[in-house]
Amino acid sequence: MNMINPARPLRLSRSSLIVPLSNDRFLAKAHLRGADSITLDLEDGVALNAKGAARLKLPGVVPMVSRGGAWIKVRVNRQLDMLVQDLQAAVIPGIDSIGIAKVDSAGHVRLVSEYIGKLEYERGLPVGGITLTASLETPQALQRASEIAAADPRLVGIGLGSLDIAAACGFEASPETLLYPKQVIFYAAKAAGLDSGGYLGSIANYTDLEGMRKVIRASKKFGFRGGGAIHPNQVRILNEEYAPTPEEIEEARQIVAEADIEFGAGRGAFSFKGKMVDKPVVDAARGTLELAAAVSAREAQLLELLKNPL
d(CA 244, CA 69): 21
Categorise residue 55: left if φ over 0, alpha if ψ from -120 to 50, beta otherwise: alpha
Closest CA to 79 of 116, 44, 41: 44
Report how far residue 139's alpha carbon sits from residue 167's, in angstroms, rounded to the nearest whole number: 11
- 137 known ligand binder: yes
Q: Which residues contact 196 (CB under 8 A, 6 or more apart)?
A: 157, 158, 159, 185, 186, 188, 189, 190, 223, 224
- Gap between the Cα atoms of 122 and 279, Å rounded: 46
CA-CA distance, 62 to 294, in Å (whole number)?
23
User: Could you give the CA distance from residue 226 to residue 196 in angstroms, rounded to a whole number?
Assistant: 8
Q: Residue 43 annotated as binding?
A: no
Pair 39, 74: CB distance under 8 Å: yes
- C-alpha to C-alpha distance for 171 and 161, rounded to whole angstroms: 13
Q: How many CB atoms lie within 10 A of CB 137?
A: 23
Phi/psi of residue 164, nearest 5 degrees:
-70, -45
Do the bridges between strand 15-20 and strand 227-229 make them parallel or antiparallel, or are there none, so unpaired?
parallel
Among 173, 308, 264, 225, which Cα is nearest to 16's? 225
CA-based nearest residue to 45, from 9, 75, 83, 89: 75
d(CA 43, CA 113): 18
Binding residues for substrate are 75, 137
Binding residues are 75, 137, 164
Binding residues for Mg(2+) are 137, 164
